[in-house]
Chain A
Amino acid sequence: MIPAAFEYERAESVDQAVQLLGEHEDAKLLAGGHSLLPLMRLRLARPSLLVDIDRLSDLEYVREAGDTIEIGALARMSDLATDQTLWKHCPLLAHVCGEVGDPQVRHRATIGGSVAHGDPASDPPTALLTLDAVLVVRGPSGERTVPAKSFFTSVFETDLGPQDVLTAVRVPKLASGTGWSYQKFHRRAIDWAIVGVAAVVERDDGHLKRAAVGLTNMGSTPLRASGVESALAGAEAAPQALAAAAEHAPEGTAPVSDTNASAEYRTELSKILVRRALEEALAR
């Protein structure tokens, strides 16, 4: 399977990428290529120009900036999955990057590509939504920041305009002692999540001070399980309270039926995975 013909330019900077994107009707950025090239091989995508940003190594970094960790858009999943700074301050995200695909995929796939692609079955976007991350975007009119909660708009659709380049992701550091978990349910190791659940919990004297819960593949975008979060506010950190809160997981979701599972199956699964995620997060 060979992609349809296209023009190719390698951008030497973000600004040049923004400019090149403006010169063609359906130009597309190419980063690690592990979402775009499979689509192009199947001819489900036929861009006229690829603007290659794979070599913008200035954007491959993880750095501390006060209370946040900033990650360059071109950072590879394999590097993030083993990054000591990320493990120290944001272990949920480091763990989730290691859950993407397989080692070969992780050597190429970038965090920016994963976020920009906007696939509701992807794992890193759910982690970012759960962590209240902020995305940094450069476009023709300069730089702006977009909270993860308003970035994902629909299946394969995001807040990015046709000339926008995602340059970085900012994630608040987790307070020490914060519990976390990512439950990815799939049948074969390489597969995408049938359903995934991210959880972050802060506790205080046997009670939950704060809980954030995110869902993968339960709708057209990654979602926050807000019903679960409100049921957990101030709740006792005990098995019964967690199980009761987990029953709220399907509220506000709209899972699809596909060859992996029916919508009903996903609905049931989401409750079980939320419970497991909360239990694991509290055990950490």
Chain B
Amino acid sequence: MLRHISLTVNGTRHDADVEPRQLLVYFIRETLGLTGTNVGCDTSTCGACTVLIDGRSVKSCTMLAVQADGRDITTIEGMARNGDLHPIQRAFHENHGLQCGYCTPGMIMAAASLIEENPQLSEESVRMGLEGNLCRCTGYQNIVKAILAAAEEIRSSARVSSR
């Protein structure tokens, strides 16, 4: 039996009838056509499917679409504003934080949640905070560098705007 859900994705409200067994990641990719969120492992391990739900990082392959009813979701497509990359996206670009790019959307969403929870990130807390995101290419060094750079930029712009 289909269930009606109504949720906000990247600021836009969507209404849909979904099968209860539909996983959120497939709703995002196939129903909404937002294919920036990747499926890597399908076993809750790799983090490629990470999105923000009410601001917190979640593996969207391990949640039902019906459980996202009423929630506010951000995917990688919702990060850039008016054509300007989000500071985390820019930091990945500038620090060469990706090679093939498959893990990148998940890395960026996981990073957004880490920075939101703790803007004073240290190298160690970034490394621990990425324990649920796997990258087959980069060896992580530049990913960690990019996230630290982004956290610094977000901290300093918060200082400027609070003056």
Contact = CB atoms under 8 A, between A and B. Distances in A.
A38 B62 contact: yes
Interface string B56-69: 11110011101100
B45 to A, nearest CB: 7
B132 A37 contact: no
Interface in A1-51: 1-8, 10, 30, 33-34, 37-38, 40-41, 50
Contacts of A37: 23, 44, 62-64
Contacts of B47: 102, 104
A107 interface: yes
A208 interface: no
B4 to A, nearest CB: 12
Contact of A34 (B22, B44, B128): B44
| Chain A interface SS verdict (over half) | mixed
A220 to B, nearest CB: 24
B138 interface: no
Contacts of A40: 21
B131 interface: yes
A54 interface: yes
Nearest to B56: A107
A103 B42 contact: no
Contacts of A104: 47, 50, 57-59, 110, 113, 132
Nearest to B63: A33
Contacts of B128: 189
Contact of A190 (B1, B56, B131): B131
B45 A33 contact: no
B114 interface: yes
A102 B127 CA distance: 11
Interface of A: 1-8, 10, 30, 33-34, 37-38, 40-41, 50, 52, 54, 78, 101-105, 107-108, 189-190
5 contacts: A6-B21, A34-B62, A38-B44, A103-B57, A189-B128
